[in-house]
Amino acid sequence: MQKVKFWQIKPEIRILGIDDGPFDRRARGTVLLIGTVFRGGRWIDGVLSTTIEQDGTDVTERVVGMINRSRHRGQLRIVMADGVTFAGFNVLDIKAVFKQTGLPVIVVSRELPNMADVRKAIKHLPNWRERWRIIKGSGKIYPVRTKRRGASVFMQFVGMRRADAEQVVKLTSTRSLIPEPLRVSHLIATAMVRGESYGRA
Amino acid sequence: MQKVKFWQIKPEIRILGIDDGPFDRRARGTVLLIGTVFRGGRWIDGVLSTTIEQDGTDVTERVVGMINRSRHRGQLRIVMADGVTFAGFNVLDIKAVFKQTGLPVIVVSRELPNMADVRKAIKHLPNWRERWRIIKGSGKIYPVRTKRRGASVFMQFVGMRRADAEQVVKLTSTRSLIPEPLRVSHLIATAMVRGESYGRA
């Protein structure tokens, strides 16, 4: 599938940022998944919620369904995800999300994952080879410096050009080192589970 | 209790905006209550969540508890509420919130409530005279024009001066006719119950 070429990144480009809620690793069950629709790094246009299985394999299907069924669908231009693993090791297939929604996907992580540790952790799970294949297929990892001062974050992407992805990550990181659509989805998901959440800069 | 006198309203004054989630009037049960901590009308600092009883009498106690237990407590300066009735006719006693938290409260409504209709609706509920007393005690209703164009919203307040309350309502209505802490709490609460929410200007 061809890349989406952005003529320009508008300051209020609509972005869906996805993060999961906290959960108890010892328990089994469903985990909350939140999507926040942002205009650039400024305004919240809406919120989406669904659930996924802890260490399951349903996150890709859930994200695609949430997007394609949404009334926000027509306005959305980009999907962002906080890493590619949710609810433990439920792995988001960003290429499949791009193919099935038509929307480019940017993955942002605060830290570089230790791939050896990830591989070791998923090896006891069903379909681990498929999970590993998806993780490895998420594309090259690039550092992005979102603020003049402060550490870099790390970015992967599919369906768009690197320069566009980098511009979107920088544009939306208005409040902290990470994009607002991800920071706010994290705050919402955490509050739903724990009763309260706090920002960090 | 004495009014809080603000020397100045800082652009990033911390405000907790409270709204409830949608619910089925035919069903009985608990209803989601969301508090969003905003800095002025710009940034989300955190989210709080609790539940209240449909047509119950626990909203005041729940709101006070949520605030006083919160790690945000020390930074909060003002509480905002979307009307005084939540989850049906669970009535928020804003004077009690002020007394028990020390924080002034501003109530914002899009429309003037029809008091005769409210009275009629609550009359079949237990403790209806007490509910009515709290509603009547919420103070005088003032129109506020938050945008140069567009309709007025309506404001009640306790624990602060009218001019300060009006300034806070205007300062925080950055995106729409109503303050961001209320608009966003509404978007979050709706998405948790219905799976999706949409802004309106």
B199 interfacial to chain A (CB closer than 8 Å): yes
Domains (range + CATH), chain A = 14-194 (3.30.2170.10)
Residues of chain B contacting A45 with CB distance shorter than 8 Å: 198-199
Contact A47 B191 (CB under 8 A): yes
Average pLDDT of chain B is 95
CB of A84 closer than 8 Å to CB of A112: no
Rg (CA), chain A: 16
Token pair in block for residue B165: 């309350």
Contacts of B18 (CB under 8 A, 6+ apart): B33, B34, B35, B63, B79, B80, B81, B82, B86, B92, B182, B185
Token pair in block for residue A82: 């906080």
CB of B24 closer than 8 Å to CB of B180: no
Contact A199 B70 (CB under 8 A): no
What is residue B71's predicted lDDT score, i.e. its pLDDT?
96
Give residue-wise pLDDT tens across range B30-65: 999 999 999 999 999 999 999 999 999 999 999 999
Return phi, psi of residue A55, to 5°.
55, 20
Between β-strands B78-82 and B105-109, what pairing exists: parallel, antiparallel or unpaired? Answer: parallel
- Which amino acid belongs to residue B45? D
Four-CA torsion A11, A63, A187, B17, nearest 10 degrees: 80
A73 interfacial to chain B (CB closer than 8 Å): no
Measured between alpha carbons, how far is A193 from A22 in angstroms, rounded to an integer?
Answer: 7
Asked if the interface predicted TM-score (ipTM) of this complex is over 0.85, the answer is yes
Which of the four pLDDT bands, split at 50, 70 and 90, describes residue A49? very high
Q: How far is A50 from chain B (nearest CA, A)?
A: 6
Contact A196 B46 (CB under 8 A): yes
Contact A46 B192 (CB under 8 A): no
Name the residue among A49, A175, A196 with its Cβ closest to that of B191.
A49
pLDDT of B27 over the 90 cut: no
pTM: 0.96
Contact B191 A72 (CB under 8 A): no
Give residue-wise pLDDT tens across range B106-165: 999 999 988 999 999 999 999 999 999 999 999 999 999 998 888 999 999 999 999 999
Q: How far is B91 from chain A (nearest CA, A)?
A: 22
Give residue-wise pLDDT tens across range A122-181: 999 999 999 999 999 999 999 999 988 889 999 999 999 999 999 999 999 999 999 999
CA torsion through residues B173, B85, B97, B54, sign: negative
Mutate to test the interface with A, among B52, B188, B198 (most CBs of A within 10 A): B188
Contact A195 B72 (CB under 8 A): no
- Which amino acid belongs to residue A78? I
Residues 2-61 of B with CB under 8 A from A: 34, 43-50
Name the residue among B50, B175, B188 with its Cβ closest to that of A188.
B188
What is residue A148's predicted lDDT score, i.e. its pLDDT?
84
CB of A110 closer than 8 Å to CB of A153: yes
